[in-house]
Amino acid sequence: MKKITIVGITGYSGLELFRLLSFHAEAEVVAVCATSHIGEKLADAVPQFEGLTELVISEFDVDLAMKNSDVVFFATSSGVSLKLALPLIEAGFPVIDLSGDFRLKNPDDYEKWYKNTAAENVYLSKAKYNLADLTTATATYIANPGCYATATLLALAPLVQENLIDLTSIIVDAKSGLSGAGKKLTESSHFVDVSDNMSMYKVNQHQHIPEIAQQLHDWNEDFEALQFTTSLIPVTRGIFASSYVKLADSVTFDTVKNAYQKCYENKNFVRIRRQLPQIKDVVGTNFCDIGLVYNEKTNILTIVSVIDNLMKGAAGQAVQNFNQLFGFAETTGLQFMPMI
């Protein structure tokens, strides 16, 4: 049984983490931390948890966290863990960080895309970016992938790793539900602007672009860039990513299908679907569902990948990384059927 401190409990990802870990057979949440509601019972701040917990929200104290828990989860916005986590990194204390603060290897990339001062290289070098369905968590500091990055990278991995496509042809059109924007109110998150509407945002500026590009280049050094756009759709949870690529010379659709089957045949949370998946196929689960369509006339392969942004895109994958890091069965605490 591992004791856990969650930092950022009042955000959507923090609350989802608490929900998952509260019923995890090998986990006990012993502290929940935030910058608001300090001293208030979590069940009072979040009425949905009434009768389910007696935990009180506290400020984060790094010494208490290392004394009383075995691992710290940061479910904070960017710019928080790069300050609070440094003593944990120095001590080699296990951390799973859902923010973007330690995902990028190059500090200049972080400062460009996140508009903030990056952590020093000595700290960045100790963090490991871990896409849980393709690699295994081993480092004590795990940088949990972003939601858009997870959906996009799982969709493209077999193609880029096996060099099956024209690497200059990658176009990704990704759409997210409103919970992906977090709890902070903005003009664009008002009900009247979101309901019955769709809007593109952060065109060529989304902070997950360098994260995706970094991993694609790690898989194939010939990769240089992709076209990536994000849109907001009127749903609470879910990401629907449509990726379009041209197949390389002499590559057939059968070769592509075999590559996906080989890549994901023993993976618990990636399903290659016979039909194109929908967001509702994965809501409430840690699955990434992938569907493929090929147009012989244009030589364009369409890859549709769908995830629940709060599960596979955040808390679910973080728990998956937790299971890997501590040697638990990967599916522990994550065996959910989709919500209907």
User: Residue 179's pLDDT is what?
Assistant: 76
Tell the CATH topology of 148-308: Dihydrodipicolinate Reductase; domain 2 (3.30.360)
Count CA within 13 A, CB hemisphere, residue 333: 27
Averaged over 313-318, what is the pLDDT?
Answer: 98
Averaged over 251-267, what is the pLDDT?
Answer: 97
| Active-site residue identified among 33, 147, 263, 288 | 147
User: Residue 44's pLDDT is what?
Assistant: 94
User: Residue 86's pLDDT is what?
Assistant: 97
182 falls in which pLDDT band (50, 70, 90)? low
188 falls in which pLDDT band (50, 70, 90)? low
User: Residue 288's pLDDT is what?
Assistant: 98
pLDDT at 180 over 70: no
Residue with the bigger pLDDT between 324 and 202: it is 324
25 falls in which pLDDT band (50, 70, 90)? very high
Largest CA distance in the chain: 64
Query: How many whole angstroms separate alpha carbon 112 and alpha carbon 210?
Result: 10
Averaged over 117-134, what is the pLDDT?
Answer: 96
pLDDT at 79 over 90: yes
- Helix, strand, coil percentages (3-state) for the chain, rounded to 5, are 35, 20, 45
User: Residue 95's pLDDT is what?
Assistant: 98
Please state, rounded to an integer, the average pLDDT across all residues of the chain: 95
pLDDT at 200 over 80: yes
Q: Are 309 and 144 in contact (CB under 8 A)?
A: no
Reduced to 3 states, what is the DSSP secondary structure of residue 168? coil
User: Residue 181's pLDDT is what?
Assistant: 63
Measured from the Cβ of residue 293, the count of other Cβ atoms closer than 10 Å reads 12
pLDDT at 258 over 70: yes
Which backbone phi and psi does 289 adopt, to 5 degrees? -100, 135
Tell me if 2-145+312-326 shares its fold with 148-308: no
The letter for the amino acid at 273 is R
Helix axes 147-161, 208-219, angle to 10 degrees: 20
pLDDT at 247 over 90: yes
Query: CB under 8 Å, gap of 24 or more: what pairs does 247-254 form?
Result: 247/164, 247/165, 247/166, 247/294, 247/299, 247/301, 248/163, 248/164, 248/165, 248/166, 251/164, 251/165, 253/292, 253/294, 253/296, 253/301
Averaged over 219-228, what is the pLDDT?
Answer: 97
User: Residue 184's pLDDT is what?
Assistant: 64
pLDDT at 340 over 90: no
User: Residue 68's pLDDT is what?
Assistant: 97
pLDDT at 271 over 90: yes
pLDDT at 297 over 90: yes
Query: How many whole angstroms separate alpha carbon 22 and alpha carbon 32?
Result: 12
User: Residue 194's pLDDT is what?
Assistant: 72
User: Residue 149's pLDDT is what?
Assistant: 98
User: Residue 196's pLDDT is what?
Assistant: 77
pLDDT at 185 over 70: no
Helices (H), the chain: 12-22, 42-45, 62-68, 81-84, 86-91, 107-114, 121-124, 147-161, 191-194, 208-219, 253-264, 316-326
Query: Domain ranges in the chain?
Result: 2-145+312-326, 148-308
Averaged over 16-20, what is the pLDDT?
Answer: 97
Annotation says 288 is catalytic: no
pLDDT at 28 over 70: yes
Reduced to 3 states, what is the DSSP secondary structure of residue 143? strand
Averaged over 94-120, what is the pLDDT?
Answer: 96
User: Residue 198's pLDDT is what?
Assistant: 83
Which CATH code of 3.40.50.720, 3.40.50.150, 3.30.200.20, 3.20.20.70 fits the domain covering 2-145+312-326? 3.40.50.720
Question: pTM for this structure?
Answer: 0.95
pLDDT at 254 over 70: yes
pLDDT at 191 over 80: no
Averaged over 240-257, what is the pLDDT?
Answer: 97
Lowest mean pLDDT among 88-92, 183-187, 265-269: 183-187
Which tens digit of pLDDT belongs to each residue from 44-60? Answer: 999 999 999 999 999 99
